[in-house]
A and B are shown apart, each in its own frame.
Chain A
Amino acid sequence: DAGITQSPRHKVTETGTPVTLRCHQTENHRYMYWYRQDPGHGLRLIHYSYGVKDTDKGEVSDGYSVSRSKTEDFLLTLESATSSQTSVYFCAATGTGINTIYFGEGSWLTVV
Chain B
Amino acid sequence: GDSVTQMEGPVTLSEEAFLTINCTYTATGYPSLFWYVQYPGEGLQLLLKATKADDKGSNKGFEATYRKETTSFHLEKGSVQVSDSAVYFCALPSGGGSYIPTFGRGTSLIVHP
- Residues of A at the B interface (CB closer than 8 Å) are 2, 4, 31, 33, 41-43, 45, 48, 50, 56, 58, 90, 92, 94, 98-106
Contact across chains for A100 and B89 when beta carbons are under 8 A apart = no
- For the complex, what is the distance from the CA of A41 to the CA of B42, rounded to whole Å? 17
- Residues of B at the A interface (CB closer than 8 Å) are 32, 34, 36, 41-46, 49, 51, 89, 91, 93-94, 99-101, 103-106
Majority-rule SS of A interface residues: strand
Given A31-B99, A33-B101, A101-B101, 6 more A-B residue pairs with CB atoms under 8 Å apart are: A42-B103, A58-B100, A94-B94, A101-B93, A103-B45, A106-B41
Closest CB of chain A to B6's CB: distance in Å? 10
Closest CB of chain A to B50's CB: distance in Å? 10
A-B contact pairs, 20 of them (CB 8 A): A4-B43, A31-B94, A31-B99, A33-B100, A33-B101, A41-B105, A42-B105, A43-B103, A43-B106, A58-B100, A94-B93, A98-B51, A98-B93, A99-B32, A99-B93, A101-B34, A102-B46, A103-B36, A103-B44, A105-B42
Are A42 and B106 CB-contacts (below 8 A) given A31-B94, A94-B101, A99-B101?
yes
Residues of chain B contacted by A101 (CB below 8 angstroms)? 34, 36, 44, 46, 91, 93, 101
Residues of chain A contacted by B105 (CB below 8 angstroms)? 41-42
Closest Cβ neighbor of B106 among chain A residues: A42
Contact across chains for A106 and B99 when beta carbons are under 8 A apart = no
| Among B43, B104, B106, contact of A104 (Cβ-Cβ < 8 Å) | B43
Closest CB of chain A to B15's CB: distance in Å? 26
Interface core residue of B34, B43, B51 (most chain A CB under 10 Å): B43
